[in-house]
Amino acid sequence: MNRPVRVGILDSGVHVAHPHVGRIVEGVTISPDGVSSGYVDTLGHGTAVAALIHHLNPEADLAAVKIFDSKLATNLTTVIRAIDWCLEHQIDVINLSLGTLNEGHRGAFEDAIARTQKAGAVIVSALEINGKAALPGSLAGVVGVAESSTDEYETFERYGKIVFTAPPFPRDIPGVPRERNLRGVSFAVARVSARVAQEWNHGIDSEILSWRSA
């Protein structure tokens, strides 16, 4: 690849002035009404995700795709539109921390995954919600991620594919105990997205890229 790997962060936007977020090469806000410019983060979650990915893979170019506004919730139309925006803008790794248990969304996600694979990109997403298979993270062709109970990265098999665990913590803040910072599967997903992007950059044939043959 002649350019840096591009990671699309589908989240609450990014505060670009934050010193930890790295290269935000482009950004957009996506809603049920369409696509608009601007991606200011008023929640802080997307900024924390961007900071973690940049910390783990400073070589990557990041794109802020704002799908959350006043709360960490959105809808199927927005998510699918955001995935398609990423494909249109040559995003390689789509970091999608969220998931849904709504089986009615399966077909739309399967179609989006097919488009993503055809474009040579990949979605990294939460594997489960409260122990139940989440969409799209549990589907074939998606890198599914669960929280680990340690600081280790591990793999196991579930839903007919290899899935990954990672620590559920954002970038550590010096002098601040972890229990006072954010935590959750969103950050496990971000950690695995950074690792996928790192493998992508260096062309390493690794188990973590098993989505290619899914």
Burial class (CB in 10 A: 0-12, 13-18, 19+), 203: exposed
Q: Would residue 66 count as lying in a domain?
A: yes
Structure tokens at 185: 């599967």
Domains: count for the chain: 1
* pLDDT attached to residue 19: 75
* pLDDT attached to residue 145: 95
Compute the average pLDDT of residues 56-63: 94
Q: Would residue 157 count as lying in a domain?
A: yes
Among 14-28, 35-49, 112-126, the range scoring the smallest mean pLDDT is 14-28
* pLDDT attached to residue 206: 46
* pLDDT attached to residue 204: 44
Please, which contacts does 28-32 make with residues 24 or more away whose CB atoms are closer than 8 Å?
Answer: 28/63, 28/64, 28/65, 28/66, 28/85, 29/66, 30/65, 30/66, 30/67, 30/78, 30/81, 30/82, 30/85, 31/67, 31/69, 31/78, 32/75, 32/77, 32/78
Q: Would residue 40 count as lying in a domain?
A: yes
Q: Would residue 1 count as lying in a domain?
A: no
* 3-state SS track over the chain: CCCCCEEEEEECCCCCCCCCCCCEEEEEEEECCEEECCCCCCCCHHHHHHHHHHHHCCCCEEEEEECCCCCCCCCHHHHHHHHHHHHHCCCCEEEECCCECCHHHHHHHHHHHHHHHHCCCEEEEECEECCEECECCCCCCEEEEEECCCCCCEEEEECCEEEEEECCCCCCCCCCCHHHCCCCHHHHHHHHHHHHHHHHHHCCCCHHHHHHHC
* pLDDT attached to residue 201: 64
**What CATH number is attached to the domain comprising 90?**
3.40.50.200
Q: Would residue 119 count as lying in a domain?
A: yes
Compute the average pLDDT of residues 93-113: 95
* pLDDT attached to residue 70: 81
Q: Would residue 125 count as lying in a domain?
A: yes
Cα–Cα distance measured from residue 169 to residue 40, given in angstroms and rounded to the nearest whole number: 23
* pLDDT attached to residue 142: 94
Find the domain containing 114 and state its range: 6-213
Contacts of 158 (CB under 8 A, 6+ apart): 127, 138, 144
